[in-house]
Amino acid sequence: MLNTKKNQKGVSLYLTIVILSVLTGAVLTMIGISVSQIKVVQTLSDSVIAFYGADSGIEQVLYGLYKGGYSPSLGECPSAYQGSLDNGATYQVCVSDTSTSTIFSTGSYKDTKRRIEVNFS
The confidence score (pLDDT) of residue 7 equals 61
- How high is the pLDDT of residue 94? 87
Instruction: Report DSSP letters for 20-74, one per residue.
Output: HHHHHHHHHHHHHHHHHHHHHHHHHHHHHHHHHHHHHHHHHHHHHHHTS-----T
Rg for the chain, CA atoms, rounded: 30
Q: How far apart are CA 101 and CA 118, in angstroms?
A: 8
Q: Which residues of the chain are modeled with pLDDT < 70?
A: 1-9, 79-80, 99-100
Q: pTM for the full model?
A: 0.69
Residue 102's Cβ-count burial label (10 Å; 0-12, 13-18, 19+) is middle
pLDDT for the residue numbered 2: 56
The helix (H) or strand (E) run that includes residue 114 is strand 112-119
d(CA 83, CA 107) in angstroms, rounded, equals: 10
pLDDT of residue 54: 94
Residue range 80-104, pLDDT digits in tens? 688 899 999 999 998 877 766 788 8
